[in-house]
A and B are shown apart, each in its own frame.
Chain A
Amino acid sequence: MSALGTTSMTDPVAEDRSRTKVPRRRRRPIRLSKVLISSAIGLVILFPLFPLYWLVISSLKSTHELLQAPPSWFPAHPTISAFKEAFDAVPFAHSFFNSFLYAGTATISVLVTSMMAGYVFSKYHFRGRNVLFWVIVATMFMPPIVTLVPLYWMISRLGLSDSYLGVVLPWLANAFGVFLMRQFIGDLPDELLDAARIDGASELRILWRVVVPLMRPAIVTLGVFSFVYYWNNFLWPLTVLETSSKYPVVLALYQLLSFNMSAQYENVVLAGALVASVPTIIVFLLSQRVFVQGIARVGVKG
C-alpha cells in the first residue's frame, strides 16, 4: 500500500475534480494557460482519433478513389460496397458468433477460477502461499510464443486440434486474473468473513454470498479485460484452427487481408477491420468507467 498512510483509495475519475480547486496555478494569466492546455488536450484527442477517422473514411471510399495520390481526406461518393464485399469474401457474420463463444466461455471461466484462487491467496494462510502466488504471477511475463509449439503439440495429442475446446482449454484460467482478484479481495476486511463463518456459513457460501457481491468492480474489470484479450487473440486460434467456419473475427479478418491482394482492395480490408473493431469498442464504452478505474486500481496496488 502507499507509504503515505492516511490516503485512502478513492475513485480517480471523480478525485481530480476536487483537486483542481487547489489554487496553485493562478500565478499565470488564465487565458494563455487555458488555451495551451486545451490545445494540448486537443492533440491528445487527435492522436488516437486520426487513424480511426482514416479507417472509417477509407472503408467508405470506392476502389477508384482509394488509388488516388494524393489521397482524398473525405470520400467523394461514400458507398458501403466495401462492406458488402468483405462479408461476401469471408464468413464474417459467423465468425462473430465464434468469437463470442470463445471469448465468452474463457471470460466466465477466468472469472470463476480467478475469484476462487484470489480468495485463497488473500484470505488463507499456508506454507508456501506467497511463493506459489508469485510463481504464478511470474508467468504473466512470458511471451506466448515461447510455449506455442509444445502447447500445440499437447492440444493435438489430446485430439483437440481444430476444435472449440482446443482453442478455449488453455484460456480457462490466467495469472493476471489471479493477481487482480487477490489484490481486490485482499481489501475486504477479515471481520466480514469471520462473521459469516461464525454464523455457520460454508466457505463456498461465503464466497458466493459475501465476497462476490462486494467484488462487482473487480468482476467488471477482469471480465472486460479478459473478454477483450481473448476476443483479440490472434496467434493461438491461428495455430489451432483449420476450418474457416470455426474462425474468430480476427482470423476472418486475416483471411480477408490475404485474399484481397493489391491496393485496390484496401477499402474492403479496411471495412473488415472496422467491423472487427466494433464489438470490443462497444463493450469498452459500456463498461468504461468501472473498467478504467479497475485497471487503475491494479496499477496502484501492484
Chain B
Amino acid sequence: MNLISRNRRGWRQCIKPFIAVAVVASGVATTAVIAAPQVGASSPVTITYLTHWGPTQVNMLKADAAAFHKINPNITVNFQAVPFGNLLSTIDTQGPSGNGWTIAGIYDLWLPALVDGGLAVNAPSAVASDVKAHWPTNLVTDVTKQGAVRGYPNEVDLYALNYNKALFKAAGISKPPANWTELVTDAKMLTVPSKGQQGFGVITDWAAGVVHPWLSLVDSDGGSLLTGLKPNLTSRAAMAAANLYAELVKAGSTVATMSTANAETTGPYLDNFTSGKTAMIIMANWWEADLQTAMGSKFSDVGAAPIPIGPNGTKSSSVSYSWLTIVNGKANSAKQAAAWKFLQYLNGPTSGKSGSSGMGDALISMGILPSRLSDVTAHKAQLNSPFLKVYVSELKNATPFPTVLGGEQMTDTLQTAIESIDFGTASPAAAMKSAQSQITSILKSANS
C-alpha cells in the first residue's frame, strides 16, 4: 500500500515541473504574440491580398502592387492565391487572427456573414464616396451592409444562353430560342444520340452552376427566389422551371451525366460544349477565356443570346452576382489603412492602361465584366465583342442573387433538389416541396 502510494506521489511530483515548464512556455509565447508592438503609420507595413485568381492575373496584380510601392514605399503588398474551392475556408480560418489576409476578394453571398463576424470592416469616408461616385447604384447597394460601404465591387457576372452556331446550322435552325417553347423544340432537334450530342446542357456538382441558370429561367418567367426571407420554390414560376427541366430530361434533350463540374468549376460540362457535344447551355460570361483556350479558332462558332422568356414572363432576366474586395476588420489599424489605400489605387483610373484601373485590366483579361463605370468606357471595344455584347446589354435587366445569411446552405439545398430532377430521382413537385421546407428553416435559423 505504502509503496504504491509513494510511487504514485513520486510519479506526480516528477510530472509537475514538466507541466510547469510547459505552462510557462506557452504563456510566454502567447504574451509575446499579444504584446506584439503596433506598427505606426509611417513605419513599413506589409499586407496580404487573398485571391482565387490564376497566375496570369495574380502577376498583373503584382505589377500593380510594385507600381504602388514606388509611390508608397512604406507599403508592401503580398499576394496569397488559393484555389476557388478553398477560398471561403481560407477566409474563415485565417481571417479572425488578424495576422492572415488583409484584403480578400469575396463573392457577395459571403458578405453578410463576414460583416457579422467583423471581418468586413466599414470603408473610410474617402473610399465610400469613391465607390458611390463611380459605380452603378445596384452594385453600391450590393456592397453596403448595415448602412456602410464594405469594399470595392470588382467583377459582375451574369448568365446567357450559349449556343453552338455550327450545330444550329446543321440542324437547320436559324436563330436561338427566344422563349421556352422554342427552347424545348430546338433542344429536341439538336439532340443526336448517335453522336452523343445533347440539345440542352445543364451543370451538376457545383452549386452556382446548378442553381443560377435554373434561377435565371425562373426570373425570366416573372418569378423570384425569395420574397424577403421566404422562399418561393412552390410558386408558379419555380414549378414551371422545374417542370421544364423534367420535360427536357424526359425527352432526352438533357443528359445529366454529361453535366459534371469539378472543384475548380471546369470539367466535363465545359469539355462537352467545347467539343460540340452540347448544343446549348446557360452559362456565365467569365468562361469566355476557357472557351477561347479550348476551342481556338472554333470559338467563332459560339453565340450568346438572352435567357429564353417563360410563358408568363415579359422580359429576359438573368441572375447576376458580383465580387468585391473587403478589408479585414481584425487586422491592426495601420494595416487596414494601408489596405484601403492600395485598393483605392488599384480601382482608380491611374493604375491601369488608358484610363482603366489595374483591376479593370485584370478582369477584362479573363473576359470578366468590370463594374467601375470608367472601366466600362475604357474597355468599350472589348466589351463590344460578339460574345460579351449580349451579356453587357442584359446587365440592366439582371436580377441579383439575394445575399442573405444562410445563402450558401440555401444554394446547396436548392442544388440537391435541381440535381434530383436532372437525374430523374425525384419528381419536380417533390423536389421543390422538400427544398421549400428545408430552405425556410435554414433562412429562419440563420437570420434569427
Contacts and interface: CB of A to CB of B under 8 A. Distances in A.
A157 B100 contact: no
B48 interface: yes
Interface string A257-291: 11101111000000000000000000000000000
Interface stretch (A3-11, A18-26, A215-223, A239-247): A239-247
B263 A258 contact: yes
Given A257-B83, A261-B266, A261-B290, A242 B90 contact: yes
Contacts of A157: 30, 33, 97
15 contacts: A126-B7, A126-B8, A156-B97, A156-B99, A157-B33, A159-B29, A161-B99, A161-B100, A242-B48, A242-B50, A254-B83, A255-B83, A262-B290, A263-B271, A264-B294
Interface in A44-101: 67, 69, 89
Contacts of A242: 48, 50, 80, 90, 94, 100-101
Nearest to B5: A127
A131 interface: no
B266 A262 contact: yes
Interface in A120-171: 126-127, 152, 156-159, 161-162
B55 A238 contact: no
A244 B51 CA distance: 12
B26 interface: yes
B85 interface: yes
Interface string B174-200: 000000000000000000000000000
Contacts of B94: 156, 161-162, 242
Interface string B79-106: 0111111100110011011011100000
* A157, A159, A162, A261: residue with the most chain B Cβ atoms closer than 10 Å: A261
A13 B80 CA distance: 49
Contacts of B100: 161-162, 242
Interface residues of B, number: 42
Say whether chain B's binding surface is mostly helix, strand, loop, or mixed: helix
Given A161-B100, A264-B294, 16 more contacts: A69-B275, A126-B8, A156-B96, A158-B26, A158-B30, A162-B94, A162-B99, A238-B86, A239-B93, A242-B80, A255-B81, A258-B83, A261-B54, A262-B271, A262-B274, A263-B266
* B97, B101, B271: residue with the most chain A Cβ atoms closer than 10 Å: B97
Given A127-B4, A158-B33, A261 B93 contact: no
Contact of A262 (B80, B81, B294): B294
Nearest to A158: B29
A243 B29 contact: no
Contact of B294 (A161, A244, A263): A263
A242 B32 CA distance: 21
B318 interface: no
Contacts of B96: 156
Interface in B6-46: 7-8, 11, 26, 29-30, 32-33
B85 A258 contact: yes
Contacts of A156: 93-94, 96-97, 99
Contacts of A258: 82-86, 263-264
Contact of B54 (A127, A152, A259): A259
B270 interface: yes
A257 B11 CA distance: 52
Contacts of A89: 55
Interface in A231-252: 238-239, 242-244
Contacts of B216: none
A244 B81 contact: yes
B86 to A, nearest CB: 7
Interface string B48-67: 10100011000000000000
A65 B266 CA distance: 19
Contacts of B290: 261-262
Interface residues of A, number: 26
A261 B80 contact: no
A152 B264 contact: no
B260 interface: no
B37 to A, nearest CB: 14
A262 B270 contact: yes
A85 to B, nearest CB: 11
A257 B93 contact: no
A89 B54 CA distance: 9
Contacts of B26: 158
A242 B90 CA distance: 8
B257 to A, nearest CB: 15
B265 interface: yes
Nearest to A243: B80
Nearest to B196: A69
B293 interface: yes
Contacts of A67: 275
Contact of A261 (B32, B86, B265): B265
A159 B99 contact: yes
A162 B48 CA distance: 12
Interface in B267-318: 267, 270-271, 274-275, 290, 293-294
A243 B94 CA distance: 12
Contacts of B97: 156-157, 161
A258 B83 CA distance: 5
A264 B55 contact: no
A258 B50 CA distance: 15
A238 B83 CA distance: 11
A261 B264 contact: yes
For the complex of A and B, the 6 pairs showing the least CB-CB separation, nearest first, are: A258-B83, A159-B33, A261-B266, A262-B266, A259-B54, A156-B97
A34 to B, nearest CB: 44
B19 to A, nearest CB: 16
Contacts of A259: 54-55, 81, 83
Contacts of B266: 261-263
Contacts of A159: 29-30, 32-33, 99
Contacts of B48: 242
Contacts of A238: 86
A148 B97 CA distance: 16
Contacts of B7: 126-127
Contact of B293 (A162, A243, A262): A262
A254 B99 CA distance: 24
Given A126-B11, A242-B90, A244-B80, A264 B33 contact: no
A173 B90 CA distance: 27
Given A127-B4, A157-B30, A159-B29, A264 B81 contact: no
B305 to A, nearest CB: 23
B365 to A, nearest CB: 15
Contacts of A264: 293-294
